[in-house]
Amino acid sequence: MKKNLPILIALAALLVLGVMRYEHFADAYNITSFWRYNSMFLLISIGMAFVIITGGIDLSVGAVAALASVVSALASPHGGLAAVLSGSLAGLAVGVLNGLVITHMRILPFIVTLATSLGAHGLALLLGHNDAVGISSDSNFAAFGQGDLFGLPIPGIVSALTAFAGWIALRSSRFGRHALAIGGSEEASRLMGLNVDRTLVMVYALSGLLAGIAGAILAAQFGAGQPNEGVGWELFAISAVVLGGTRLTGGDGSIAMTVAGVALLGLVFNLLNFENGLGFISLSAYWQSVIRGAFLLLVILLQARVLSGNNKVKVAH
């Protein structure tokens, strides 16, 4: 629990700052908009968390989301359900491909997912003819990204249910226990008789599927498939997972804290937008990226100090 204190304290501090400094920060509109937009990043971060827990990495999620957004837009004339399913299946296909290549050809996940990232981006540009692809105005697909259900944003509901399912799966399912075991030691997992290859394929398939759903939300939310969107999304997801205390070497992780990591990174961006709105300063998107990166580094350094202190206490005992 102590290793999570820095992110929880930072999250609480930013919330207090936002409420006290900005007049409309706690308004329902800002809260729902924040939830709606960051639902895409939460989905890819949950998938990334499972991948990193196994000791792997998935650099393709941003490009896969872009590809899925284009596929969803192209399928939207056939209805909203067809659009969502098409984008989701496109992401699932890339995820399964990643898993099969990694497990059967014994190639490092970094190399495999980098290659599929390039391929997915190229395919998105080909399908979209190097331009955004508008969704059909005759379908109800836009509601998937822009609509509400019981007064709550539909993308937010999807991401919240996914986070809850991921939390249950990691804590209580055989799939979650196997993923943690593989991250702890793949060789020991094989000696224990675990089907390591099947679990890894499932993990990368999950990551691809969630990136595909995020891509469908992207197209529905902005009214068009975006072949050039998704750049840097994988870095956001990795950052959120690491902020949540998941070790990059695998074997340990938390979906709940990954949610906190997404909230923290999204909150920094939200506060910077409010600050720009006050007119005292005007930060470009580039400077906002610099500030978010510096903030991420600060929180990680604080986590490292907390963990170092815990280790010293254990050694002393």
Distances (CA, A) of 157 to 98, 143, 185, 233: 28, 13, 35, 21
**Residue 46: predicted pLDDT:** 96
User: 154-172 vs 196-222: helix axis angle to the nearest 10?
Assistant: 170
**Residue 165: predicted pLDDT:** 96
DSSP letter at 193?
A: T
**Residue 284: predicted pLDDT:** 65
**Residue 53: predicted pLDDT:** 95
Q: Which residues, 6+ apart, have CB-to-CB distance to 41 below 8 Å?
A: 214, 233, 236, 237, 240, 262, 265, 266
**Residue 150: predicted pLDDT:** 87
Q: Which residues, 6+ apart, have CB-to-CB distance to 175 below 8 Å?
A: 169, 199, 202
Residue type, 47: G
**Residue 301: predicted pLDDT:** 73
**Distance from chain centroid for Cα 87:** 16
Q: What is the pLDDT along the chain (317 residues), one digit of tens a residue?
A: 566 777 888 889 999 998 888 888 888 889 999 999 999 999 999 999 999 999 999 999 999 999 999 999 999 999 999 999 999 999 999 999 999 999 999 999 999 999 999 999 999 999 998 889 999 888 889 999 999 998 899 999 999 999 999 999 999 999 999 999 999 998 899 988 899 999 999 999 999 999 999 999 999 999 999 998 888 889 889 989 988 888 888 888 899 999 999 999 899 888 888 877 666 666 666 666 777 677 667 766 766 666 565 555 444 55
Q: Domain residue spans in the chain?
A: 36-254
Token pair of 106 as six digits: 């014994």
Which has the closest alpha carbon to 141: 104, 192, 185, 87?
87
Residues recorded for the chain = 317
**Residue 315: predicted pLDDT:** 47
Distances (CA, A) of 255 to 16, 158, 228, 231, 262: 24, 15, 29, 23, 11
Q: Which residues pair with 148 in a beta bridge?
A: 153
**Residue 8: predicted pLDDT:** 86
Rounded to the nearest 5°, which phi and psi values hold at 54? -80, 0
